[in-house]
Chains A and B, each alone.
Chain A
Amino acid sequence: MQRYSGFGLVKHALDHHENWQRIWRNPKPKDHYDVIIVGGGGHGLATAYYLAKEHGITNVAVIEKGFLGGGNTGRNTTIVRSNYLWDEAAHLYEHAMKLWEGLSQDLNYNVMFSQRGVLNLGHNLQDMRDIQRRVNANRLNGIDSEVLDTQGVQEIVPHMDCSPNTRYPVLGASWQPRAGVARHDAVAWGFARAADAMGVDLIQQTEVVDLIVEDGGIVGVETKQHGTIKAGKVGCVVAGNSGVLAKMGGFRLPLESHPLQALVSEPIKPILDTVVMSNAVHGYVSQSDKGDLVIGAGIDGYNGYGQRGSYPTIEHTLQAIVELFPIFSRVRMNRQWGGIVDTCPDACPILSKTPVENLFFNCGWGTGGFKATPGSGHVFAASLAKGEMHPLAAPFSIDRFHTGALVDEHGAAGVAH
């Protein structure tokens, strides 16, 4: 791998940038891999990277239907935080947070992880009780988190309307200073480049049309473009399409795929230096380095694989944003888009073995997968390597939906991640 450095940039400039190496190869698939990862989004690429880096398993293919990072990885609002309520979730996301903190250097690729802090606003007394409960739990779990009152919020976000005159005044917030945002595409590309450098084959524009199961165990995948590719183990990391893959394996998942929409404003000069999230009024917003206000909408109620949702959801979201920031009324919305989120009943992911031996699933991240990307890949790689779920992944098995041991983040997380 050609290492990126300031010196390298100068050298390439003198060559008119004609000698940059490919960021990754475009290999023909081999007949057999030790591990096939289905899905070349952030989580899948991270899994491949950590398989190679931490477990020395490099005979790995990532098979992607479209282009790398083209699904939810490249469509989300890039919020990274770990201040989850329940221990199981908090430990998993905090594991990810620690990896985020050294990720650019680890990958030699600037993923622009910007620890500008995240505010989760409270607008009524029960919100504030929930915030106190979550912040107290975070503190004892070693996660930076504090409760702010209205004035504390106003100091961090001077342009937000924190007056008592709004319909649902801001009573306070939880504040995680280490949280922030990252450059979503760069995360996918950084993991892909580093995985490729260790020998992982990234197979794009290749659709898995069947999972090949023999004697109750997976032996490979059938692809539309390259026929059968054999594998010792298969990990499916396909987010919204998990249900489709599960069906190929002959089982169902406790998932529903819903549209989740987001939008950006036109770029404006820096005006918002942190991430503001509000469950009660249903909106969250940050400002990208380019200057766009990046705004996440609520989930649409119906099942949908269309990568688009309904307009009233956009209207409600902007109502919330303008209610919080009346000065943005004249700022203009540039683009909107949608992703397909695979939601679990308890708003927590599935990291699990399946009824098919050596077939593993990593899915169900719902509206909040991006923030977990390195952690998810890290523990999923360990699980694939060892054939047993990593301790941080173990509570997120499919079994919990039969035993009832759910990790119910709904109460703490609502719609907004």
Chain B
Amino acid sequence: MSQKFRLTDGGRIDRDQPVRFTYRGKRYKGFKGDTLASAMLANGQNLVGRSFKYGRPRGIMAAGADEPNAILQLGATEATQVPNVRATQQEVFEGLVSDPVAGWPSVDFDLKSIAGTLGGKLMPVGFYYKTFMWPAKLWMTYEKFIRKAAGLGRSPLENDPDQYDKMNQYCDLLVVGAGPAGLMAALTAAKAGRRVILADEQAEMGGSLLSSDQQIDGQPAMQWAESVLADLSAMANVTLLPRATATGYHDHNFVTVVERRTEHLADQAPKGQVRNRLHRVRAGQVMLCTGAHERPLVYGNNDLPGCMVAGAVSTYIHRYAVRPGQVLALCTANDYGYQAAIDWHRAGGQVSVICDTRDNPTGELFQQAKALGISIKTGHGIVDVIGSKSVRGVVIAELADQGRRARPRTENVVADCVATSGGFSPVVHLSAHLGQKPIWNPDVLGFVPNPDCGLLSAGGVQGHYELDAVLSGATQAVAAAFDCSPIAVPAVATRHIDAPMGMFLIPHPAGTSQAPKQFVDYQNDVTASGIQLACREGFESIEHVKRYTALGFGTDQGKLSNINGVAIAAQAQGKSIADTGTTMFRPNYTPVAFGAVVGRDVGELFDPKRYTAMQPWHQANGAAFEDVGQWKRPWYFPKAGESMHDAVNREAKAVRTSVGILDASTLGKIDVQGPGAREFMNRVYTNGWAKLDVGKCRYGLMCGEDGMLFDDGVTACLGDNHFLMTTTTGGAARVYEWLELWAQTEWPDLEVYFNTVTDHWATCTISGPNARKVLEKVTDLDVSNEHFKFMDWKAAEVAGVPGRIFRISFTGETSFEINVPAHYGLHVWQALIDAGQEYDITPYGTETMHVLRAEKGFIIAGQDTDGSVHPYDLGMGWAVGMKKPFSFIGKRGMQRQDCVRENRKQLVGLKTKDPKFVLEEGAQAVFDTQAQIPMPMVGHVTSSYWSPNCERSIAMGVIKGGLTRMGESVFFPQKDGRVIEAEICSPVFFDPEGERQNG
């Protein structure tokens, strides 16, 4: 039989469903119900990796989330690779492919182990801070080698084929952990009619009962558990979530629960299923029934494959029918440790020795072991392990001085598996995620949840390990929290349990610094002597110890090691464990795939794409698009063979010579109504609105209270108490919230209402000398210059659609912005295109819009301004109503000392001496070309284009004192050493009199 460590019967595996898997390229068999770890142990495969620093061989230590060593690479294909999967938590499935993550050239023979053996002494804790400094320039080379040696598994190099999703969940009680306490708690709340979610990280619910031989109500414990689970699953107010780990406890009882829905089935999620589902649970109460992790003891060479946590041995025997060896040596500091030896013996194995570090154990389990005839050495400890790649025996010694010293006489005992129990560490992690430090309970020798943590808890997490206390504690805690009745506690035999001993590091006769390596944190190769050295060097805070030694920084976050580390540090400093305290626990409890946190919000759904109503036309006509906020805007419309430059030149000339059409729908539009609307405008814009008649439009500047421009746009007066404000495309949401802020919080006396109507209207802007002729063809409105003046707006039917026409211009040409309800946008656009055919109407995009407005010196907020520019800096003092009665927003700000000083950077035009040279946007200006670096810079180019209509380059920029330096030169030192000279000029390059827009 290939599974030579598999017991002939027992376990919760399905022997009728064999499963084939691959480890290190070799195929093995396991059974459905196995974890990868149990299946590997069944096959005698216990070399799972090499250690990070010393390259030492490592084996499986534990049976759950606490496993530090069995960290494997999973995946049969490149795209389905998963790094760092804990074999103890991965269910085997047909075709599973796994590999160790460390070991070069192989996990059997790791070169690093030679360095580790020879050089281990040269690599004390923190050695890298003390070396690799000479010569200085070589650090980058050293680093390359350090990086290569580090890291566990590898990232896939192809994209994840799977999907992930999220569910927002609400409940009265979220119970974390479905062991005896969790089942009891959930049942109590469920029977009281509360909405309950019960989440458990394992495939099967039952927790510790899954590997227990205890009885509940006279039956095997799991029978009781199964009947409770049957009750719960029949209740409509209960949601059971197996394979679901509560990974983080966040404010106001928000818990992230990650459900692994397909990782037990295959590499890749079956079609139509999501790999992980993140439940975002908002719970009335959260109850921790997370139990406890057994702590291993720390002793010499305790990392040899075959060294395990005692409880894990029991789990492999009971649950997976795997006895990972023939001869067990066990060391315990408490009664519970005996269970593994009892189980081993009953499973037909030999127990060569039990060392109890206590002198006089009397408890029931001790008696049972004794009755089985197992050799028990009280007052003894295992101080060393014999073997090179696996355990061949142990070295034991008698302890003295209450376990603080080991006597020099040692004895070798045969064993191929070593199990230890130093007690239990309650799984308090979630209780500490909000910063409430767990409290040391000296009676149970463990940190328990801080009473102020805000969570309920019961069972092992409280340090209660006897079933009767666990079950009654759980129902009572729920009853008290929800003011309901506790439920009847099933009958459980009470047991006589002795007090545990506070034993963490078993002393070695040679003393810690000269003892064989005694590992505390396996993943980071942190040893007891390393922790002592850190303390000796003055790293006294436990956080310093952690950071200096890397204790608890692994992917297991120190589940097995933290408390041992704390205890060793406390002892080294002569402090108590309570005074030493723990390091902080942080989410996640166990690692979570990025994909699960991301959910569907990547790729196509990373951020919404916003399109205008005319998008189909733009696409059909070959537009190139630009991202502006969430909007996709046509950037330019290239014809076959045209470069962007060609297209923009053509479009820009067409507007000035005939007519162009622009999709301006993306501009923010806010409908402002109410008796206070006009006064409100007066206050939020810098200019005056008191006299704007119905039917008229006005351009306005909007500033912050600091006086700096943050948005601009044209607002039309639709009625005495009714305005339509336009904003920049990117600024719409911000302006909207800004208006609400002032109306609601500062001026509630002004009755005014806002509504965003950006998406309600589609806007077609036709611009150019022939614009009116085009418009005339699609409307009955009299659009003559006499009846429809510049800065007027009129309601009218356009192409049969009722809308509004605004005669405003961002190009300096005769221009009409036609707003129609968005659903008709495409129709009206098409009608305008058709009507404009005889004038060769030319669609243009944002790039041409930028060129045309720059020819006219019109600014773009956010491009020509950056939050440090006020209206006077822009030469737009004409748009500031300093005489308005109300001190409008920004007025006081723009009069501060620094805002009125000489020599501020001011917006001007820039004409290069070489008219063919187009300055780079962002080019920095200097006055003195001879200055040394750092050169005093006097401003920069904000906008710069080739202007086909001016037949030269044009630019705008902010220059110190620019408005008083007209005609002077500034210089732009180029990267290639050239210096470009430009003349400071008016930013209006085309039609300076502004006649065309009025024509």
A interface, CB within 8 angstroms of B: 4-6, 8-10, 12-13, 16-18, 20-26, 66-68, 70, 74, 87, 90-91, 102, 104-105, 108-110, 112-116, 123-126, 129-137, 139-142, 159, 166-168, 183, 185-186, 189-190, 204-205, 265-271, 281, 287, 289-291, 306-308, 310-311, 314-315, 318-319, 321-323, 326-337, 400, 402-406, 408, 410-411
Contacts and interface: CB of A to CB of B under 8 A. Distances in A.
18 contacts: A10-B122, A16-B529, A18-B513, A20-B533, A22-B537, A90-B934, A108-B133, A109-B130, A133-B921, A289-B143, A308-B251, A311-B248, A329-B595, A332-B84, A332-B592, A336-B588, A403-B897, A411-B867
A284 B507 CA distance: 46
Given A16-B513, A403-B896, A23 B83 contact: no
Nearest to B78: A327
A327 B937 contact: no
B640 interface: no
Residue from A12, A91, A136, A271 whose CB has the most chain B CB atoms within 10 Å: A136
A270 B533 contact: no
A70 B543 contact: yes
A319 B602 contact: yes
Interface residues of B, number: 109
A104 B626 CA distance: 46
Given A17-B533, A140-B933, A404-B897, A133 B129 contact: no
Contacts of B158: 327
Contacts of A68: 544
Interface stretch (B147-155, B323-331, B374-382): B147-155
Interface in B233-248: 248
A408 B155 CA distance: 39
Interface in B209-263: 248, 250-251, 254, 256
Contacts of B151: 267-270, 290-291
Nearest to B252: A310
A43 to B, nearest CB: 18
A316 to B, nearest CB: 8
Contacts of B942: 129
| B interface: dominant SS | loop
Contacts of B130: 4, 8-9, 109-110
A133 B533 contact: no
Nearest to B158: A327
A413 B69 CA distance: 42
A314 B250 CA distance: 12
Contact of B122 (A13, A102, A110, A166): A13
Interface in B519-569: 529, 533, 536-541, 543-544, 547-548, 553, 555, 557
B362 interface: no
A168 B627 contact: yes
A333 B434 contact: no
Contacts of B513: 16-18
Residue from A130, A269, A323, A406 whose CB has the most chain B CB atoms within 10 Å: A269
Given A22-B538, A267-B150, A334-B588, A319 B601 contact: yes
Contacts of A186: 129
A126 B863 contact: yes
Given A132-B922, A167-B606, A16 B514 contact: yes
B121 A133 contact: no
A167 B134 contact: no
Given A124-B626, A136-B923, A26 B594 contact: no
Interface in B578-615: 584, 586-588, 591-595, 597-599, 601-604, 606-607, 609
Contacts of A136: 920, 922-924, 940
Contacts of B529: 16-17
A314 B134 contact: no
B435 interface: yes
Contacts of B975: 139
Contact of B538 (A26, A318, A337): A26
Given A314-B597, A326-B602, A335-B586, A408 B254 contact: no
Given A124-B628, A135-B922, A404-B898, A329 B940 contact: no
Contact of A404 (B602, B706, B867): B706
Given A124-B628, A291-B151, A310-B250, A104 B434 contact: no
A129 B924 CA distance: 12
B128 A112 contact: yes
A168 B538 CA distance: 49
Contact of A334 (B81, B134, B555): B555
A345 B434 CA distance: 28
B156 interface: yes
Contact of A140 (B156, B160, B926): B926
A167 B609 contact: yes
A273 B513 CA distance: 37
Contacts of B539: 23
A275 to B, nearest CB: 14
A310 B553 CA distance: 23
B481 interface: no
B552 to A, nearest CB: 10
B586 A337 contact: yes
A168 B588 contact: no
A115 B140 CA distance: 8
A318 B594 contact: yes
Contacts of A66: 541, 543
A204 B541 contact: yes
Nearest to A87: B937
Given A110-B128, A308-B435, A403-B898, A266 B84 contact: yes
Contacts of B536: 18, 20, 22
Given A135-B922, A318-B594, A270 B604 contact: no
Contacts of A403: 896-898
Counting from the closest, the 8 A-B pairs by CB-CB distance are: A291-B151, A132-B922, A133-B922, A329-B160, A67-B541, A404-B896, A332-B591, A404-B898
B118 to A, nearest CB: 11
